Amino acid sequence: MTDASSLTGRLLVAMPGIGDTRFEHAVILICAHGPDHAMGLRLDSPAQGVDLKTVLDKLDAPAPEQAIGRPVLMGGPVERERGFVLHTDDWSVGADTLPFGDGLAMTGTREALAAMTDEISGPRRSTLLLGYAGWGEGQLEDELAENVWLTADADLDLIFDGDHESKWARALAQMGVDAGRLSSQGGRA
């Protein structure tokens, strides 16, 4: 796979009838995509009953007031106990931070968790996700060929906003697609 065909930094938007309840109406940001794997974070699935303060308390980390009520997202079904801080690329922990796409980065350290609530030296925008979506060699390409996903440009406002319920429909609308007109039936011309 050439860099030109990589989906890193792009969005996957689930088609109706995806056939996997874990990904119905999903909007996934692809953080890494190469010839043998792909990894992404689901942006529209808040973890029920968990906020950033809950996570920080569980880790015995300082939990400032800004952490109360701040949603934590379910990034995907793989390694659900593992946390990833998705953030703007204006903040980094050196080699522990993976920059990707246009203005985005991902860090999986305690420093990143602390930085999320630091309005002075932390990233401009950030969110914590638990777990990730992963694909093996050729799996994502096969799903794309089967019209399971649409691909879209990443948009920082869509990625980081808190309106998770309408994120799927808004991602489609940004592509000029009316969610109400999509069919769950695929076809080939």
| Model confidence at 4: pLDDT above 80 | no
* pLDDT (tens digit per residue) in 41-66: 999 999 999 999 999 999 998 888 88
43, 28 contact by CB (below 8 A): yes
**Whether pLDDT at 188 is above 50:** no
**Which of 4-8, 53-57, 98-102, 170-174 is least confident?**
4-8
Alpha helices in the chain (DSSP H): 52-58, 110-115, 139-145, 156-160, 167-174
Rounded to an integer, what distance in angstroms lies between the CA atom of residue 54 and that of residue 124?
A: 22
pTM confidence score = 0.91
Distance CA 154, CA 140 (A): 18
Question: How far, in Å, CA of 26 to CA of 103, rounded?
Answer: 22
* Residue-wise pLDDT tens digits, 91-142: 999 999 999 999 999 999 999 999 999 989 999 999 999 999 999 999 999 9
